[in-house]
Structure 1
Amino acid sequence: MDVGFVGAGRMGAPMVRRLVDAGHRVQALGRTAEKRAAVEELGARPVADTAAVADGADAVVVCVFTDEQVKRLCLDGDLVARMRPGATLVLHTTGSPRTAQTVAARFEHVEVIDAPVSGGPHDIAAGSVTLFVGGSDDAVAGVRPVLETYGDPILHAGPPGAGQLVKLVNNTMFAAQIGLVAEGVRLGSRLGVDEGPLLNALTHGSAQSRVLSMIASAGSADAFISAVGEFIGKDVAVVRNTVAELGGDLGKLEALVDAGVKS
């Protein structure tokens, strides 16, 4: 397939590499000479503006850092308007479900799916990053050859926006579980148990979880939170904004989410 790509950075670069290695023809945005050279090293064709990204593409993948950047590209810019009729826009950025829905409503000549990721660059490079996908059955089926080059599993959650809603619940629970482990470590400290031995022991007990294993591998809750804090903080801000936008709240998860972000 012919694929346009915006956001060939920390997360996007391994996506571009896998797309190229799978035989897709990729043109990726590089606004500076340095970024165009980086795109070329990935095996893709560098282009200097968003109109060129969309030119002739069967699918355009957007993997930028914030929901606001998605809005500027897709609603304020000319990226989606320049896409050919029947092409598919794939939004990997974690954000509001309303962003994908608004883009889909405004640009009826293209299919829009939201496919936020759960995992990191190493998962993408291995072809095993989790994708929570929202979109019509036909749209998801049509773009699956693109998604499956780096996504496994590909979890179709429902119509446009559903992928973002699942990701927001996932991120809320992830932050809350970090907070839960941090509170457990504090309890252990008050009882006189050192954090290292405590974390190691808990990974072998009924309290074991994926998050607990990740924190234990980092050596401490503070070390883990320091390593992922920027990304968790961004995602939690998106969660809070989106839940408020939809007229809800985090309920009893609020205190644990705070502990996971601020510990």
Structure 2
Amino acid sequence: MRIGFVGAGRMGLPMIQRLVSAGHQVSALGRNAETRKALGESGVRAVPFAAATGTDAEAVLVCVFTDEQVRAVCLDTPLLETMPPGSVLVVHTTGSPATVEAIAAVANSREIEVLDVPVSGGPHDIAAGQLTLFGGGDAAALERVRPALAAYGDPILHLGPLGSGQRVKLVNNVLFAAQIGLVAESVRLATQLGVTEAALLSALPHASSSGRALNSVAGKGSVAAFAESVGEFLRKDVSVARQLAAELNADLGPLAAAIDAGVDGNSGG
């Protein structure tokens, strides 16, 4: 497929490399010399403007950090004007469903499909081709871009209409943050019982309480170290989830307290 890509960062660059390895033709935004050099070494055509990634593309994939950046790329540049009718815009960035809905309101008038496909995992999952993709939007459009997404994603899940991928990913990250909070509370209890955090984290991954959150914390050596490594990402997504819940009069319930004990509570650690 002919692919445009915006966001050649920590996650985006290895995605691009997997796309090229799978035989896709990729044009990617390179804002600075260092990025353009990395893209060139990966066999990618680097372009200086976001809109240029859409020229003749069958799909454009956006993997930036924030909602504001997604809006800037998709609505404040001529990207949608350069994308041909029948192409697909895929937003990998985790954010508010309202963002992709606003983009779709413009894109659909140009016969461009918009999909929200936030991802779960890290660069190691991309390298293994096992990034989890939460898809929202038209199922047929998702099938059209599946050959590209399959370069780094498995499973690729269709979860419902536009915005569904974002909603599931936000719940996922709220739950993950809450699980970190429970680990933090478990460390607090262990300390009161005379057990060190290091000893606890060396033991629990082998027991019935083991899980991805616990194993991730244990891999970093402490709750504080893990919170520092992922806090910027999780705090952003949890903030969006809290805002969405407030807008829809939904209740985080006990999840809220667990989050406070985890990533939020250790934001300065």
TM interval, shorter chain, is over 0.9
Deviation per CA, 1:116-173: give whole Å up to 9, x if none: 1100111112211111111111101101001000001111111111000000000000
- Structure 2 counterpart of 1:9, one-letter code: G
Unaligned runs of 5+ in 2: none
Partners of 2:186 and 2:205 lie apart in 1 by 13
Aligned-pair CA distance for 1:216: 1.6
- Structure 2 counterpart of 1:105, one-letter code: A
Alignment of 1:1-263 (within 5 A): 1-108=1-108, 109-261=111-263, 262-263=265-266
Deviates more, 1:171-180 or 1:33-42: 33-42
- Structure 2 counterpart of 1:55, one-letter code: T
Equivalent residues of 2:89, 2:114 under 8 A apart: yes
Aligned-pair CA distance for 1:76: 2.4
- Structure 2 counterpart of 1:153, one-letter code: P
Partners of 2:248 and 2:198 lie apart in 1 by 41
Deviation per CA, 1:14-49: give whole Å up to 9, x if none: 011011111110000112333222221121001111
Equivalent residues of 2:88, 2:112 under 8 A apart: yes
Partners of 1:203 and 1:124 lie apart in 2 by 24
Instruction: Report the TM-score when normalising by structure 1.
Output: 0.96
Aligned to 1:61, the other structure's residue is in SS state: strand
Deviates more, 1:20-29 or 1:202-211: 202-211
Partners of 1:206 and 1:38 lie apart in 2 by 43
- Structure 1 counterpart of 2:55, one-letter code: D
- Residue identity over aligned pairs, in percent, reads 60
Partners of 2:80 and 2:182 lie apart in 1 by 42
Aligned-pair CA distance for 1:225: 1.3
Deviation per CA, 1:180-216: give whole Å up to 9, x if none: 0000100111111111222222223322211111112
Q: Tell me which stretches of 4 or more aligned residues in structure 1 moved more than 3 Å.
A: none
How many pairs does the alignment contain?
Answer: 263
Deviates more, 1:176-185 or 1:92-101: 92-101
Instruction: Report the TM-score when normalising by structure 2.
Output: 0.94
Aligned-pair Cα RMSD in Å? 1.3
Partners of 1:21 and 1:209 lie apart in 2 by 32
Partners of 2:50 and 2:180 lie apart in 1 by 38
Equivalent residues of 2:51, 2:77 under 8 A apart: no
Aligned-pair CA distance for 1:77: 2.1
